[in-house]
Amino acid sequence: MIAWKSVIRPIKTVLRSRINSIGCYSILKSNMTTVADSTAEINNNKRQLGNSAPNRKPKKPKLRRYKAKKADPTGPLGVLEFEIDELLQEHGLKREEVKNDVSAILNDVPRLSGPMTRAYHRVVNNIKVLRNASNGEGMALIENPVETGKKQIALIPFGLVGDVVNINVYKTHPYHVETDLLDVVEKSPMRKDELITCKYFGKCSGCQFQFLTYERQLELKRNTIVNAYRYFAPRLVVEKLVQEVGETIGSPLKLGYRTKLTPHFDMPRRKQLEDRPPLGFGQKGKQKWRKDNLEIGGTGSILDIEECPIGTPAVNMGMSNERQKFDTDYQNYRKGATILLRENTTILNGSEETREQLMDNGSKNEQGEISFVETEDKEKDIKLAKTCVTNTRQVVREYVDGYTFKFSAGEFFQNNNSILPLVTKYVRENLQIPNSEPNAPNYLVDAYCGSGLFSICSSKGVAKVTGVEISADSVSFAETNAKNNGVENCKFIVGKAEKLFESIDTPNDRTSVILDPPRKGCDELFMRQLSEYYPARIVYISCNVHSQARDVEFFLKDTERGKDYKIESLRGFDFFPQTHHVESVCVMSRV
């Protein structure tokens, strides 16, 4: 019995870590058949050993069914469905021809390392990458190893269109397989491995684009916007209502820009650790293509990472301090956790010692002193000190283009400070109502206003700003931020975005609306009420261009007065260089 326990426990640990990494048990079962096989085999043998009743009819094993996780159509899995269809269309294939028999893999249980699993999960060499998905992964067609004549769609992290690669297929879904990149046999002309700045690139799940020139990154992000509108706003595209997508506006900082990082660690349950567990970011599969970093950061689901080149210097100082602390106090944790590293900015008064002016708490070095970095806003001749905060409830400050914003470290705030002056200026300019009569006042509504970033940065030149936001905490910060910045024409309401329309009292012909919803986008009720209100202009900012495209199409085609609007411009802003993410800004005005 004791011997079995020692076999089963490590298997359970592996299973647990896979559950954490994919967050879906049904998929896990389908894809962990090697481990599941071993477990089933062990259980079988256990049963046989302990089964003394003779002639008992063996129970027929229950067939396991694949349960697909319900995916948000505008989320990564939903978008992948469009990308799969497009790839199939380009190659004259039908869905049936790339369908995997997931049930066969799932039920290949009783045999240790069953042939089904071995056949499906295998190394495949010399595969041409045909395109890149919007999440940056390469897509290729490979032969189905079991059903002759059929193909499979392989997703290849860090594979670039034009690469010829060797891959290891390790997980099967109904219409695609997940793979690890083993070798790049022939390089895509896009591939510039010499640009890679991080030793963890290729292993860490954070960045996808470090081996591309920055121009290429911006181009790919523009393509993501073009495709998003093709997939989620097809009626607008067919009727040529989507303007030419503008060039993506780059971030002034390409590295060292991220003001928030959240390294994490796992703690094995019921076990005293001798060494501290890895503290860092998730590992993306088990790549082998970067031969120089195979052992770096470890081989577990979380990589041990001491520095992140996209994090700001202050955040990286915090990371170094918190790692040192973790070296000695990791035994105090009973469960895994995430450590918040959030940059905090103090405006310095030139005549005093910087350290004396750091009034907020911050991450401390070994000597017990708060670590800080000094910088400046050259244009406005303002000196700043940046520290790193780890307490989610601590109030932090951001400095944007002459304004300061306070908010709780754990609440939402844009994570790339360097691009914010460009974005807020662009939004401000695009909110202007053309042909306004001189002296006639203009108004602004900021739906999903957070702690007031766009309201406050666009408040000059308008008579009144009304912001609405679901988080009461954020609204209270928005009010404080307006007051602290000497802005007197902003009013903020707590509630769902649609609550706005109950209290809106500004004339629609003279009012512009900013929308900046979370990833899931706006709901139809809100879009209908917006159309009823009929504002002069709308600037829709989104961190998920797919839900933005869906909402814009719904607004223009399916709401009462949507047909009276046109898309005036559409373009991306690169809030997250080196990653596949893009922020999209769509400006709509009345025809």
Checking DSSP bridges between strand 138-143 and strand 151-156, what pairing results, if any? antiparallel
Please tell me whether residue 471 binds ligand SAM under the rule CB under 6 A: yes
Stretch that binds ligand SAM, among 254-262, 324-332, 357-365, 444-452 (CB under 6 A): 444-452
DSSP-derived 3-state class of residue 229: helix
Catalytically active residues, by annotation: 543
Please tell me whether residue 403 binds ligand SAM under the rule CB under 6 A: no
Among 322, 469, 574, 583, binds ligand SAM (CB under 6 A): 469
Residue nearest to ligand SAM (CB): 450
Stretch that binds ligand SAM, among 134-142, 350-358, 447-455, 583-591 (CB under 6 A): 447-455
Give me 75's structure tokens. 């989320």
For 329, phi and psi rounded to 5 degrees? -110, 10
Residue 348 or 453 having the CB closest to ligand SAM? 453
At closest approach, how far in Å is the CB of 468 from ligand SAM? 6
Residue 75 or 300 having the CB closest to ligand SAM? 75
At closest approach, how far in Å is the CB of 341 from ligand SAM? 19
Q: Are 200 and 296 in contact (CB under 8 A)?
A: yes
Q: Are 117 and 65 in contact (CB under 8 A)?
A: no
Please tell me whether residue 454 binds ligand SAM under the rule CB under 6 A: yes
Among 448, 540, 573, 576, binds ligand SAM (CB under 6 A): 448
Please tell me whether residue 470 binds ligand SAM under the rule CB under 6 A: yes
Q: Cα–chain-centroid distance for residue 157?
A: 15
Please tell me whether residue 303 binds ligand SAM under the rule CB under 6 A: no
Q: Cα–chain-centroid distance for residue 206?
A: 9
Report the C-alpha gap between 248 and 222 in whole angstroms.
6
**Residues 560-579 close enough to bind ligand SAM by CB under 6 A:** none
At closest approach, how far in Å is the CB of 256 from ligand SAM? 21
134, 126, 112, 120: which is closest to 164 by C-alpha?
Answer: 126
Please tell me whether residue 343 binds ligand SAM under the rule CB under 6 A: no
Q: Are 333 and 267 in contact (CB under 8 A)?
A: yes
Question: What letter would DSSP give residue 113?
Answer: T
The burial of 232, by beta-carbon neighbours within 10 Å (0-12 exposed, 13-18 middle, 19 or more buried), is given as buried
Report the C-alpha gap between 591 and 583 in whole angstroms.
25
Would the annotation count 414 as a binding residue? Answer: yes
Among 453, 504, 587, 588, binds ligand SAM (CB under 6 A): 453
Among 66, 209, 413, 426, binds ligand SAM (CB under 6 A): 413
Q: What b/e string do you get for 470-489 counting C-beta neighbours within 10 Å, with b at 16 or more?
A: ebeebbbbbbbbbeebebeb
Please tell me whether residue 551 binds ligand SAM under the rule CB under 6 A: no
Would the annotation count 469 as a binding residue? Answer: yes
**Residues 472-501 close enough to bind ligand SAM by CB under 6 A:** 474, 496-497
149 C-beta neighbours (distance < 10 Å), count: 7
The count of C-alpha atoms lying within 13 angstroms of the C-alpha of 139, restricted to the half-sphere facing its C-beta, is 21
Would the annotation count 287 as a binding residue? Answer: no
DSSP-derived 3-state class of residue 245: coil
Question: What letter would DSSP give residue 91?
Answer: T
Residue 165 or 478 having the CB closest to ligand SAM? 478
Report the C-alpha gap between 459 and 218 in whole angstroms.
30
Strand partners, 515: 447, 540
Please tell me whether residue 443 binds ligand SAM under the rule CB under 6 A: no
Please tell me whether residue 589 binds ligand SAM under the rule CB under 6 A: no
266 C-beta neighbours (distance < 10 Å), count: 19
Would the annotation count 219 as a binding residue? Answer: no
Please tell me whether residue 449 binds ligand SAM under the rule CB under 6 A: yes
At closest approach, how far in Å is the CB of 317 from ligand SAM? 25
Please tell me whether residue 25 binds ligand SAM under the rule CB under 6 A: no
Identity (one letter) of the amino acid at 320? S
DSSP string, 504-547: --S-GGGEEEEE---TT---HHHHHHHHHH--SEEEEEES-HHH
**Binding mask of the shown chain, residues 356 to 395, with x at each position contacting ligand SAM by CB under 6 A:** ----------------------------------------
Please tell me whether residue 93 binds ligand SAM under the rule CB under 6 A: no
Stretch that binds ligand SAM, among 8-16, 150-158, 331-339, 465-473 (CB under 6 A): 465-473
DSSP-derived 3-state class of residue 398: strand
Please tell me whether residue 180 binds ligand SAM under the rule CB under 6 A: no
The count of C-alpha atoms lying within 13 angstroms of the C-alpha of 151, restricted to the half-sphere facing its C-beta, is 16
Counting residues that bind ligand SAM (by CB under 6 A) gives 18
Q: Are 302 and 282 in contact (CB under 8 A)?
A: yes
**Binding mask of the shown chain, residues 503 to 532, with x at each position contacting ligand SAM by CB under 6 A:** -------------xxx--------------
At closest approach, how far in Å is the CB of 420 from ligand SAM? 9
Q: Cα–chain-centroid distance for residue 292?
A: 27
96 C-beta neighbours (distance < 10 Å), count: 7
Residue 107 or 544 having the CB closest to ligand SAM? 544
- For ligand SAM, the binding residues (CB under 6 A) are 412-414, 448-450, 453-454, 468-471, 474, 496-497, 516-518
- Residues of the binding site: 414, 448, 469, 516
Q: Which residues belong to the annotated binding site for S-adenosyl-L-methionine?
A: 414, 448, 469, 516
